[in-house]
Amino acid sequence: MNILIVDDERDMRDLISLMLSQENMNTFQAENGRAAYQKLAQEKIDLVLLDVMMPDENGFQVCASIRRQSNVPVIFLTAKDANEDKVRGLTLGGDDYIVKPFSATELVARIQAVMRRYEPQLNPAKQHIIISGDIVLDEIARRVTVEDREVPLTLKEFDLLHLFMKQPNIVYTREQLLEKIWSLGYAGGTRTVDTHIKTLRLKLGKEYSKIIQTVWGIGYRFEERQ
């Protein structure tokens, strides 16, 4: 895996490069946006680690420029833990946000999580695969695994999970779920939705049962995992 490190501080670039080399990741370095564009044009880069606070062009500006020509994954690196900066970075096309200082373990885990999400785009043969953390859903085979353990689901349980994973972090009312999964003419009532959610949670296992969250008074939401 080829990682481009964009940071105006040489010591930080060298430290990150050392962290990643221990995980057998190949790294390239750029001290500013201009150098980053050149590396992206010259090398096959799989992911960009992009510092936010840089002179001339800041990380947000660099990300916006990258997005005009490439969909390469971008993880922002910053010393600021401000929510508005996170929102701005993700809105501009960033894929994740890490606050300095960070450990090698966290950095590698974040990179791996982002690359898992991008894998179907990088490998057309896997475009029917949806991944959220350790949950993997195969749309064609209608197969679900959790931590490589196959989870046997009924037709409706699979359809529910598929809908949630395709549109994570969206709140669905019980009526919307009933309409989308059971169709308008179904007369079983919204309790059917609650029952299927309950069994789906049980089948996913204790650690993953809370990934389908109850939004009290409204319905349910699937919380995407990295």
Q: What count of other Cβ atoms lies within 10 Å of the Cβ of residue 98?
A: 15
Q: Can you give the pLDDT at residue 185?
A: 55
The pTM of the full predicted model, rounded to 2 decimals, is 0.55
**Residue owning tokens 């389908």:** 212
CA–chain centroid gap for 121, Å, is: 13
Q: Can you give the pLDDT at residue 7?
A: 94
Check: CB of residue 66 under 8 Å from CB of residue 95: no
Please provide the average confidence, as pLDDT, over all residues in the chain: 85
Q: Can you give the pLDDT at residue 97?
A: 84
| Reported confidence tier of residue 131, pLDDT bands at 50, 70, 90 | confident
| 178 strand-pairing partners | none
Percent with pLDDT over 90 in the chain? 36
Q: What are phi and psi of 200, to 5 degrees?
A: -65, -45
Q: Which CATH number applies to 129-222: 1.10.10.10, 3.40.50.720, 3.40.600.10, 3.40.50.1370?
A: 1.10.10.10
Q: Which CATH class is domain 2-123?
A: alpha beta
Q: In angstroms, what CA-CA distances link 211 with 23, 169, 198?
A: 29, 10, 12
Q: Can you give the pLDDT at residue 9?
A: 92
pLDDT, tens only, 116-126: 777 655 555 55
Q: What are phi and psi of 129, to 5 degrees?
A: -100, 130
- For the chain, the structural domain boundaries read 2-123, 129-222
Q: Can you give the pLDDT at residue 182?
A: 79
What is the side-by-side order of every strand in the sheet holding 219-222?
Answer: 171-173, 219-222, 212-215
pLDDT, tens only, 182-226: 765 555 677 888 999 999 999 998 888 889 999 998 999 998 776
Q: Can you give the pLDDT at residue 186?
A: 55
Q: Which element (helix H / strand E) includes 18?
A: helix 10-21
pLDDT, tens only, 16-56: 999 999 888 999 999 999 999 999 988 889 899 999 888 88
